[in-house]
Amino acid sequence: MKPTHIEHIGIAVENLDEAIKYYENILGLKCYAIEEVKDQKVKTAFFMIGQTKIELLEATETDSPIGKFIEKKGQGLHHLAFAFDDVDSALKSAGEKEIRLIDKESRPGAEGLKIGFLHPKSTFGVLTEFCGKK
Amino acid sequence: MKPTHIEHIGIAVENLDEAIKYYENILGLKCYAIEEVKDQKVKTAFFMIGQTKIELLEATETDSPIGKFIEKKGQGLHHLAFAFDDVDSALKSAGEKEIRLIDKESRPGAEGLKIGFLHPKSTFGVLTEFCGKK
Pick from A1, A12, A74: CB nearest B28: A1
Mean pLDDT value across residues A117-132: 96
Task: Please name the amino acid found at residue A31.
Answer: C
Q: What range does the domain containing A27 cover?
A: 5-132
Mean pLDDT, all residues of chain A: 95
Contact A18, A2 (CB under 8 A): no
The CATH number for B104's domain is: 3.10.180.10
Pick from B18, B19, B124: CB nearest A13: B124
Mutation for B interface: A27, A93, A100, A101, most B CBs within 10 A: A27
pLDDT at residue B67, as a whole number: 97
What is the spatial distance between Cα A129 and Cα A116, in angstroms, rounded to a whole number? 6
ipTM at complex level: 0.95
A78-116 CB burial, b ≥16 within 10 A, e <16 = bbbbbbbebbbebbbbbbeeebebebeebeebbeebbbb
Mean pLDDT, all residues of chain B: 95
Pick from B6, B27, B74: CB nearest A50: B6
* pTM for the full predicted model: 0.96
pLDDT > 90 fraction of chain A, expressed in percent and rounded: 91
Contact B110, B96 (CB under 8 A): no
pLDDT tens readout for residues A70-106 = 999 999 999 999 999 999 999 999 999 999 999 999 9
With an 8 Å Cβ cutoff, are B49 and A82 in contact? yes
Distance from CA of B9 to the nearest CA of A (A): 9
pLDDT tens readout for residues B66-93 = 999 999 999 999 999 999 999 999 999 9
Mutation for B interface: A29, A47, A126, A131, most B CBs within 10 A: A126
pLDDT at residue B124, as a whole number: 97
Mean pLDDT value across residues A99-122: 93
Q: How many CB pairs under 8 A join A and B?
A: 115
Mutation for A interface: B54, B96, B126, B131, most A CBs within 10 A: B126
Mean pLDDT value across residues A119-129: 97
What is the count of structural domains for chain B? 1
Mean pLDDT value across residues B7-36: 97
pLDDT tens readout for residues B92-131 = 999 999 999 999 999 998 888 999 999 999 999 999 999 9
With an 8 Å Cβ cutoff, are A77 and B77 in contact? yes
Nearest to A73 by CA among A128, A9, A11, A3: A11
DSSP B32-45: EEEEEEGGGTEEEE
Looking at the complex, does the CB of residue A80 fall below 8 Å from at least one CB of chain B? yes
Task: Check whether B1 has a pLDDT greater than 80.
Answer: no
pLDDT tens readout for residues B40-55 = 899 999 999 999 999 9
Looking at the complex, does the CB of residue A131 fall below 8 Å from at least one CB of chain B? no
Contact A59, A42 (CB under 8 A): yes
pLDDT at residue A110, as a whole number: 80
